[in-house]
Amino acid sequence: MSFRHLVSGALVVAPMTKGSNLPFRRLCVELGARVLVSEMAVARRLKQRRGSEFALLRRAPDEPCFGVQLAGNKPEEMAWAAALAQSRGADFVDVNLGCPIDHFTRMGLGAALGRQPSKVRRIVETMKAAVTVAVTVKIRLGWKADQLNYLELARAAVEGGADGVFVHGRTREARYRYPANWDAIAEVAAALPVPVIGNGDLLFPHEVHERLASSGCAALMTARGALIKPWLFRELTSGYWNITAEERLEIYRRYTALALEHWGDDEHGRTRAREFLRWHAGFWCRYVPQRAAGHWPSMQVREVLDHPRSALEALLSRSDEAALEYVTDELLNTGDLSAPPPVSAVVTDSRTDRGRRTEEDEPVEAG
């Protein structure tokens, strides 16, 4: 099956370090997702036989289409890792050319590798020779605003044999501070003969449908949108869901059950599950429904839920540490969330993401 056929019209779950863990991907599948990508796996660490890295290649039995994203800058090493991913059940392998985190860019990975189109061409060529599944790349627009190279980079990857290109519509320097540039994404889609998948600022179903119709992309990808509201995938077929706090809680409880099934319901497994559960809770609290006046909250503005419909909805909207810890522990211990900690020092004003959250708190969208 061609890569175009695999992804056509889909909203893809992005490769996110910590975010696209196996239990979360399973939750998204249950809510309607059909194309999902692993957390970023580093080819060098796979070569070193690190068990924690091998775990990132694990495919859930119910994943309809599963991609593995790899980070590396040595063609032979990436080819070896791609073959390994294919042997573990990957339907496609993706090259990370956009991770903005200093730890990786200092090693010449992610966005740093995206500055070397000719090297990217060689890496893709070598990977293509090693596997029979599709090979794709995920890029940003460039290193910074005055160093945009997205067309050159995308074309180099396609010349190397890439079957598709994912485009995150921001530069490495921008991280998540500014809205995604969908004009640039559309430019890539118009320039390439392979499927282009656009990524950036998709939170509500009408935004997904409008971008798919106007960008020329074969499919779209979501990162923060899925983390904030994993039921976004269900909305794509059934329309906007004015979800209640109780319905949200059932989704969060389901993630908790999947996490304990994956990591184990013993002391070690619960410790591991709690780490991820607390991290996800930091995104779940950001959900704000359509406003009463009819307008939609923006991905780039941290809006506040002014008029919660219930005490539970008020609790789930709190972003203070005490509330997030309480929600995490109640979910992990099947509590009823009926005795939340008092509100104290909770930020109640609307600000941009930059004002409310550090870069380290954002999902490391690996590409």
Query: What is d(CA 255, CA 238) in angstroms, rounded to the nearest whole number?
Result: 21
Rg (CA), the chain: 20
The CA-based dihedral angle spanning residues 265, 234, 303, 214, taken in that order and rounded to the nearest 10 degrees = 140
* pLDDT at residue 300 in the model: 78
Contacts of 266 (CB under 8 A, 6+ apart): none
161 in the Ramachandran plot: left (φ > 0), alpha (ψ -120 to 50) or beta?
left
**Domains in the chain, ordered, with CATH?**
3-239 (3.20.20.70), 245-288+304-349 (no CATH)
Which pLDDT belongs to residue 59?
97
d(CA 322, CA 320): 6
Q: Pick from 58, 88, 69: which is nearest to 127 by CA?
A: 69
Of the candidates 28, 65, 99, 217, the residue annotated as catalytic is 99
What's the pLDDT score for residue 58? 97
pLDDT of res. 177? 77
Spatial separation of the C-alpha atoms in residues 75 and 165, rounded to whole Å: 18
What pLDDT, on the 0 to 100 scale, is given for residue 354? Answer: 35
d(CA 299, CA 293): 18
Count Cα neighbours of 31 within 13 Å in the Cβ-side half-sphere.
Answer: 29
Q: pTM of the predicted model, to two decimals?
A: 0.93
Tell me the CA distances in angstroms from 102 to 42, 111, 172, 364, one per residue in order. 15, 10, 10, 11
Active site residue 65: no
Backbone angles phi, psi at 239, to 5 degrees: 90, 170
pLDDT of residue 176: 75
H-type alpha helices, 42-167: 43-47, 51-54, 75-87, 102-105, 117-130, 150-159
Instruction: Provide the residue-wise pLDDT of the chain in tens; the chain has 367 residues.
Output: 899 999 999 999 999 999 999 999 999 999 999 999 999 999 999 999 999 999 999 999 999 999 999 999 999 999 999 999 999 999 999 999 999 999 999 999 999 999 999 999 999 999 999 999 999 999 999 998 889 999 999 999 999 999 999 999 999 887 777 889 999 999 999 999 999 999 999 999 999 999 999 999 999 999 999 999 999 999 999 999 999 999 999 999 999 999 999 999 999 999 999 999 999 999 999 999 998 888 999 887 877 888 899 999 999 999 999 999 999 999 999 999 999 999 875 444 443 343 334 343 455 554 4
pLDDT number for residue 357? 41
CA 224 from chain center: how many Å?
Answer: 6
**Is residue 37 within 8 Å of 13, Cβ to Cβ?**
yes
